[in-house]
Structure 1
Amino acid sequence: MATIRYVTGVNAEYFFILFPLFASLRRHAPGIRLEVCDFGLTGPQRAFLARKGALVATPPGLEGAHPWRCKAALGRYLRDRPWDVMFWLDADMMAVAPVEDLLTSIAQSLQETGKPLAVCTDASTTGLALSLVPAPRFQSLAPARGIGLDTLYLNSGFFACASPDFLAEWDRQCQEMPEENLFEQNAFNLVAHPAGFLPLPMWEWNLCAGNLDAARIEVQDGIPQAIHPEGRVRILHATSHRPEDVIKQTVTLSAGGRTFEATIKLLRHQALLQWQMSLLRDGLTEDAAHLAEAGLGRPDAGAGGEADAEAKARFQKGGELFLLRRFAEAAAAFREVLRLKPDHPRSLFNLAMAEAELGRLSQAPPLLRQAIQSDPDYREAHVYLVMMLVRLGETAAAAEALALALAKWPQDPTLRQLADQGGETKNFV
């Protein structure tokens, strides 16, 4: 029987994007064990993955490398781990239907045909891809590899590989590429087209957010079913070059009795966003013990009270409305939470953010101060209090708030950058 490995990779910034993927695979592929390549994680993040038995350590020479260069070096990550076929899934993917048996079938097809690779052909041609995201080095090398402007572009977000030699050549090619647009994926195309591959339907295995318009989303018992005109979607990918499809957001939420600040890419589609947030909570709750042991997150001081069903439901709804940019409705939801739980720090923070988005900037600092009074260790509230005060021109108050925050977190990179810029917030707000 073939040895199959399932692999993803992530850096420190996007660590929490793993948890919707973990939760979706538990539901739709419970027999799969996903391993995570360290593309630049923190010590506590590595400790968590090690406790979970999922950490693939950074090979020598890749410390501090761009995450895309790390991805192209998968062969080095897996050098001491036996495999006949490896599947790669980008960390911002989620399974939306059973996949385990079908993945095994893809692995068998690779071994039977002798092809090195199974990969999705993108909906766009190479010429269209280059018109959207120019990459001069790739464009200059493509013709010699048999890649014309009308050649279908390959998407490396999901693929299966049965050849260590292919991974080694991809790594070599990527090392030669400048850090231009999509340089890792362009290197993948330069190697894959001459090597040959089994084509996989992108609508089934790598439906990106920008192509969701072609699918029908049906929600059954709170779980979305994605139906493409050609069949059932198996994996959704929360990526797009269009901001109307995906938003990068830092959300504060509680799960398993702990509070987390998670940076994640969220789908703009309302039903999918709600489901994605539920997957994030489910994933964090499932791994709460390991996360606590690794020192990630912090105890949720209000966890007991937040179990109140009405307050919890309104808080979650407010968060979803905010991400959908329905700020007035979000503010109303957070006010309802505060009516039920007057000093709930995360609702105070979120209400401050909603007021700022509605143009009522002066309402934000009092709410943030109240959040800090309720939870003095609420780092994000400290950071945004400084930013809001600077935007309001209250420089003395901003300096005082910044000094207080730096006394608590002297090495925090965001606070240090604010201090170095004299409180300038243009890179943060």
Structure 2
Amino acid sequence: MFQDPSGNRIAQWRDVTPQQGIVDLSLPLSAEPALGTYAIEAQGTRHSFSMEEYVLPKFEVTLELPPVVTVLDKILLLRVCGRYTYGKPVLGKVQASLCREEQPVYHGYHLHAKRTGALCTELTGQTDSNGCFSREVGTAPFNLTQSGYRMSLQAKASLVEEGTGVELNATKSCDIVSEIATVTFEDADNTYRAGIPYTGKMLLKAAGGSALKNEKLQLFVSYGDVRQNQTFLTDESGRASFELDTSGWTGRVTLRGHFKQVDRSSVFGRVSPSYLDAHRNLEPFYSKSQSFLKIRWLGGVLPCDQAQQLQVDYIIAREVLGNESRSLDFIFLVVAKGAIARILHKGLDLREGAGLKGSFSVELPFGADLAPAATVLGYTVLPNGEMAADSARLHVAKCFPNKQQPPKPQPFNQWGLVPE
């Protein structure tokens, strides 16, 4: 039975047979149903719901905070803005609060430091001509390094429209973190080929995710009893590229990317800042003859209408070639969309005097058939039956198959005619 807000029975179902213990019924409502509380009753069980008119607010309030605040930050920016539904800024009075709440104290756990409730700052002001109120807030009142409080800041704001007194509210929170910056490895393999340069990048990011440029990073390389250290400078994107000589590497090699050292001493009740290092353990790539092939990584998204040069490093053991081998063939298969899209060939002259360690390039034409990603598999089969191989993943920009390069302008002679 279905009743409207006036108690009138507006629908009833009789002799309903459940399907697997479930009854699915529906009742279309009119375009303008009566507002109020409706009731549904079945087998002595009664349920009600409310029908109300929704009025779209004529303006909205947004509250902005930084994505995170570190324990070393001295100030943060709080911003409150009001906008009408048609985009015009709202003029009015803003009241805001920013608080760090107490951490709940569980049974049997007490801090020695006495706490006096939430740590708060109150702000008031008027929106400007853009409908916004901005204020730099000092973090000292929140004792960001003091434990016993939540590792987050809670903000509340209200905007009272000038002239009408209409008030709307907004809330926002941001985390407090102790990790000031983080180093990570990019484009760095988990294996190395002894004798072929090992390449990669270190990326330095602040707690909020922004890249840190023009900062010094240290790279520590350890294997056996050997310890090496190099210093690099990050570029505009927060990255530092490195190329390491692997000719003396043996066994497991450990890489550590380091930014800053912090005081390891801890104080009870205090949160200490930290800088997270990058770690990578490298295992040697196996080859019976110590013959290797390495395709250098092509970074970023590659244009689909422009050929690229694949740089390839190689080491071929002399003893596997024998005395009769004068050349060696390298094959590169380009796989995209589950099929082989390109087959490239490179011949290497091994006549007397030619090195068995070096590098060469292979031109790889790109097209829409390779977008959005392709894999290059390069290999060579040595005379003893052993194969040296490597693969690389390529990311290709999307484009239309009919995109063509503009024709090259034809040269004209002194009479304005195209020469034959």
* TM class by smaller structure: under 0.3
Relative contact order: is structure 1 or structure 2 higher (C-alpha 8 Å, sep ≥ 6)? 1
Relative to the length of structure 2, the TM-score reads 0.21
Relative to the length of structure 1, the TM-score reads 0.21
Higher strand residue share: 2
Query: Larger radius of gyration, structure 1 or 2?
Result: 2
Higher helix residue share: 1
